[in-house]
Amino acid sequence: MLELKQIYAGILKNVSLTCAGSGCHAISGPSGSGKTTLLNVIAGNRPYSGEILFHGVSIDRLAPWKRGFRYLNQRLYLFPHLSVDGNLALAQYAAGKKRDKAERQKLLASFEIAHLAHIKPGLISGGEQQRAALARSLIGNPKLLLLDEPFSNLDRELKVRLWNKIMEIKKSLPVLLVSHDTEEINALADVHVSIKDGILEIP
């Protein structure tokens, strides 16, 4: 369970939120309302005041790489000099996991890109890069998946295929999704909250 208590950071004002140990929480709101700021606070990428608890334990003093969360947005940040498989292998190492090639191949196959394992990201399509980035975010067995409109530039057919993957993932892994897409929110969210001018609006 993720708990945010009286968070202030940039535009965010007194944000408190509790997310269950599985399922998908979606956050929507106009541009500049604080959605991305909130995800960066949770990921540990920017300073804040207030308190963040994960399973009842404060993570405020933990560096981003020690929180065990994975953050994915439209930029992907795949290493261009490494193959798709190399990107996943590096993520395994960074998470302190064994570099298990069979596990990487199984995950890539689940995203229908196992045949691209030895190709560099710059030589595959945008949709394939997106699937590779999502696979990389999962290979280290994260405790929480933070998604910041990662599918907004994809065509609807690929979006729906990835939504189906997220629906599987959220059964065992909590997902916090920022989206402006009403159809996406309706498809994925178990809980939907909105934010405006840095203030969280919970129905």
Q: What is the pLDDT of residues 92-124, one digit of tens each?
A: 998 888 899 999 999 999 999 999 999 999 999
Same domain, yes or no: 99 and 57 = no
Residue 158 belongs to some domain of the structure: no
Confidence of residue 39 (pLDDT cuts 50, 70, 90): very high
Same domain, yes or no: 112 and 58 = no
Residue 26 belongs to some domain of the structure: yes
Confidence of residue 75 (pLDDT cuts 50, 70, 90): confident
Rg (CA), the chain: 17
Same domain, yes or no: 30 and 81 = no
Res 57 pLDDT > 80: yes
Res 202 pLDDT > 90: no
Tell me the Ramachandran region of residue 154: left when phi exceeds 0, alpha when psi lies from -120 to 50, beta otherwise.
beta
Confidence of residue 133 (pLDDT cuts 50, 70, 90): very high
Same domain, yes or no: 138 and 75 = yes
Confidence of residue 21 (pLDDT cuts 50, 70, 90): confident
* Partners of 18 in the β-ladder: 3
Confidence of residue 203 (pLDDT cuts 50, 70, 90): low
Residue 184 belongs to some domain of the structure: yes
Residue 116 belongs to some domain of the structure: yes
Number of domains in the chain: 2
Same domain, yes or no: 137 and 75 = yes
pLDDT at residue 142, as a whole number: 94
In whole angstroms, what is the distance from residue 201 CA to residue 179 CA?
15
Residue 87 belongs to some domain of the structure: yes
Mean pLDDT (the chain) is 92
**8 Å CB contact between 36 and 43:** no
pLDDT at residue 107, as a whole number: 95
**pTM of model > 0.85:** yes
Residue 117 belongs to some domain of the structure: yes
Residue 156 belongs to some domain of the structure: no
Same domain, yes or no: 73 and 138 = yes
CATH number at residue 176: 3.40.50.300
Same domain, yes or no: 95 and 114 = yes
Same domain, yes or no: 62 and 79 = no
Residue 55 belongs to some domain of the structure: yes
Q: Domain limits at 17?
A: 1-67+144-150+170-203
Q: Please report how the helices 126-139 and 84-94 are oriented relative to each other, as an axis angle in degrees rounded to 10.
A: 20
In whole angstroms, what is the distance from residue 25 CA to residue 15 CA?
15
pLDDT at residue 95, as a whole number: 87
